[in-house]
Amino acid sequence: MYDVEREKKVIRQGEIKMKKEPFVTKEQIEEIVKSYPTPFHLYDEKGIRENAKAVKEAFAWNPGFREYFAVKATPNPFLLNILREYGCGADCSSMTELMLAHELGMSGEEIMFSSNDTPAEEFVYANEIGATINLDDFTHIDFLEKTIGAFPKTMSLRYNPGGVYTLSNGIMDNPGDAKYGFTKEQLFEGYKLLKEKGVERFGIHAFLVSNTVTNDYYPTLARTLFELCVEIKEKLGIKISFINLSGGVGIAYKPDQVPNDIRVIGAGVQKVYEEVLVPADMGDVAIYTEMGRFMMGPYGCLVTKAIHEKHTYKEYIGVDACAANLMRPAIYGAYHHITVAGKEDAPCNHKYDVVGSLCENCDKFAVDRMLPKIDMGDYLVIHDTGAHGYSMGYNYNGRLRSAEILLKEDGGAQLIRRAETPKDYFATFDCFDIIKGLV
């Protein structure tokens, strides 16, 4: 959970140095709401493009590099097409994500299919469109063969080293508790079996720690995987063609955090590459990444309006968004910074709970948050919702998903997904004729 006292301390240390700046102004919001009422998710085209360019440049030293954007983070075709302009592919984990990527014209090696507990029909479709299948479990080798027959020429396996993974800055996670991936013994046996069955090109994938705010994570993971790939080559005579570092590179949700520097991260991976792979005659191995949060997170925000205030045992500000629009704070206390539009330089001298309308007491975007005085009608910008924001929305209490809007580089606004209507909510009740008269 977020430490309120720490936030107050940060504010006292200096608002100008520590505060997060929104990419949209009050004046721009006021113009947008003339056409699209709050709440809505807003995306920064300029920021997305600059970041995608930086990622491409950071790994330009590796000729085979490709970023496979994690579609689950932000499944919007307009945004996916922007990333494609910078060479990005799609990391998919379900049938519908595969269909979305394919409908946008992606096929073959542009699509990575990394799923778990996978239904047979999804393997069939992934194989049909030529996606690279990244298997999550040893038993899936037999399951895949029974499902599609002959194996594709390229296959990838997901590795889980088990234990506890610790970085130099104290960030820890526990791969041993995760449901994903092969053990080392299963991995070696899996590659041997796939080679016997005609697979010619092999990849490896691993995801160990979530949302790291450190430049050390990718280089640390890279060393683990690079050394493992050298061992696979020496013991099995199998050369790994691509190494997928997956996601885990996080963003600075809190104002006192120092954001990751993707160019430093890329250089760190290059250093380990040259130390481990090049001497092993593996200097042509391609590096892949699957960043969702880092690619899109800071370049989206949830714009909502203050519509109620309540004075009881605490001070509450009720907004027209709710956890159905952004569930991360409600389900696990995730911190999202909040800016009151037009009051960016006002003192944060009021303590509020910022809440939504769901019949759940956890429907809170902030608890005991120090903010400027909020007046009814003020617009609140909830930062860093560009990944795992809209995509995790739901319809509890009959709440409807909001619109998605792209703030163009020229300052204009483009609707890239309309808001849901009651007709959408009732669309699956085809057997109830009475419903048709309600919408």
- Over residues 284-324, the pLDDT tens digits come to 999 999 999 999 999 999 999 999 999 999 999 999 999 99
Gap between the Cα atoms of 92 and 68, Å rounded:
9
- Annotation says 359 is catalytic: yes
Domains of the chain: 4-43+298-426 (2.40.37.10), 107-291 (3.20.20.10)
Gap between the Cα atoms of 156 and 172, Å rounded:
26
Selected catalytic residue, list 348, 359, 362, 431: 359
Q: Is the dihedral of CA 13, 17, 22, 28 positive or negative?
A: positive
The amino acid present at 172, given as its one-letter code, is M
pLDDT tens for each residue of 96-136:
999 999 999 998 999 999 998 999 999 999 999 999 999 99
Burial tier of 354 (Cβ tally within 10 Å: 0-12, 13-18, 19+) = buried
Token look-up 């979305």 returns 100
Sequential pLDDT tens for the chain (439 residues) = 333 343 333 333 333 345 799 999 999 999 999 999 999 999 999 999 999 999 999 999 999 999 999 999 999 999 999 999 999 999 999 999 999 999 999 989 999 999 989 999 999 999 999 999 999 999 999 999 999 999 999 999 999 887 666 665 544 466 656 677 899 999 999 999 999 999 999 999 998 878 899 999 999 999 999 999 999 999 999 999 999 999 999 999 999 999 999 999 999 999 999 999 999 999 999 999 999 999 999 999 999 999 999 999 999 999 999 999 999 999 989 999 999 999 999 999 999 999 999 999 999 999 999 999 999 999 999 999 999 999 999 999 999 999 999 999 999 999 999 999 998 998 888 765 655 565 5
